Structures are given as structure tokens and as C-alpha cells.
Amino acid sequence: MARDAVRREGDGSEYCGDVSMSPFVEIVGPTPLRWGWKGLTFLLLCSLGLAVPAQQRFDFKVREDMFAGFDGDQEAFDRAMKLIADTLAADPDHAEALVWRGDARLFLSGQAFQRRAIGEGQALAVQGMADMERAISLAPASIAVLIPRATGLMPFARGMRPFNRPEADRLTKIAIGDFEFVVAANTPRWSALSEHDRGELLGALADGWLQLGDVTKANVYLDRMNAELQGTLYARNAAQRRADPAARVPLTCLGCH
């Protein structure tokens, strides 16, 4: 069964959620905090206007079982993995199935690291990254691929940072690039996006730059959160992080559940 924990980061942020997704975390203590990337992925994919009919969207088919599996439901996780395997057997170039398998393999990698099965964890991490890279090569402009990759890489990199900062920073930069693409792609309809979607995207970008120690670039997104989301928790937390980048207040997963 997965465990929830908070890891205090050097930049003042917190990793919230299933510690197995972040393979090197130091567990501070159990807490019922939300799992950040799950909520961000779910709600963004719900409302970012993907140009695919609902009945054809792969995330609609896989996400409920996958998320339940991430929360400890092995039967649901197995169903999700079978759906992915069957989809890839029929179409090896199915980009969405590949990126979701990549996320799943990062999750399994984290579980292996928690068991101290280092070799297994490393192998799964390599396989997960390879799945994501192939998915992006097949669909480089697909929001349905970019968001799962970004929201899988960000917490994985956060947990890796104390042990391999160069690689963690590389993965974080990839995630930032994905989120920046999504923001740019939605610029023409930005005001039509929900408050939550705008806050999660801007918050993820600010958080990513803070993880990299680039306060100047983070402030661009913190200022946008303040200006565009006045009166919300996003704006309040952004103001606190603007004043004190090390403040222990989250910028994402606000109101996910």
C-alpha cells in the first residue's frame, strides 16, 4: 500500500503525495495530502479542450484505474496496465499509451527504490523515460502526451535532486518546457480556461523554476498568478512565495480534490 508523506525541499516547497512516486524522498511523516501530479493531470486533461471526441480519448479510458492504482489499488493498476499493453499490442505507436506506461513505470520505479531494490528501480526508470521520449517523438505537439509527461517528471525529479541534481534539473527543464508549450497553445483561449487550470499551469511553472533556483523566471509566473487570479488561494500563495521563495506554501494541487 502506498504511503503519503511530506518532504521539505530546500527551496521551501513540499512534495505532497505518494512517496513511492519520488524514489529518494526522506519521509517526514504521514499526512492525507493530495498527490499533486494526479490532480493536475486529471483536471487539465478534463478541460483543456483536446480536439478528440470523448469516446476516443485514451486518458478517459485509463486514468481512473491508473490513479486508483497509484493510490494502492493493485487490481485497478493491473487493469490500467492491461489496457495499455493491449493498446500497444494493436498499435505500437500509440503515443498516449506510451506516455501513460512511462508514468506507470516511474511509479513502479519509485516503489522499487522504496524496497531498496536499486537495480530494479533504475531499470524501470530508464524504461519509463524511454516510453516518454518515444511518445513525444510520435506526438510532439499533443497536450494529451505533454501533460502526463510533465506531471510525471516533476515529482520524480524533485525526489532525485538531493542525489543527482544535474539529472533532476534536466528532467525539471523538460517538464517546464512541456508546461510552457501548453500555456502557449492555450493563449488564444486563456481567459476561457477555468481558474483552477490557469492556476495549476502557472503554479507548476513557477514551482519548476523555483526548484531550479531561478527566482527571476519563477517570479514571472508568480506575478501572473497574482494579477490574473486575484482573491484565490493561487494568488495568496503566489504572493507569499514572491515575498519569500522559501516559504512552505504550495503553488499547485490547490483544490484538486
Bridge partners (DSSP) of residue 17 are 5
Bridge partners (DSSP) of residue 18 are 4
Res. 13 pLDDT band, cuts 50 70 90: very low
Please name each of the domains of the chain with its CATH number.
4-243 (1.25.40)
pLDDT beyond 80 at 161: yes
Report percent pLDDT > 90 for the chain. Answer: 58
Residues 16-69: tens digit of each pLDDT: 333 334 444 332 222 222 344 555 555 455 445 444 555 568 888 898 899 888
* C-alpha to C-alpha distance for 101 and 118, rounded to whole angstroms: 20
In the block, residue with C-alpha cell 486575484: 230
DSSP state of 25: P
* C-alpha to C-alpha distance for 37 and 149, rounded to whole angstroms: 10
pLDDT beyond 90 at 89: yes
Res. 163 pLDDT band, cuts 50 70 90: confident
pLDDT at 31: 24
Mark 81-105 as b/e (b = at least 16 C-beta within 10 Å): bebbeebeeeeeebbbbbbbbbbbb
Amino acid at 2: A
Per the structure block, which three cell numbers stand in for 5?
A: 508523506
pLDDT at 40: 53
* C-alpha to C-alpha distance for 57 and 59, rounded to whole angstroms: 6
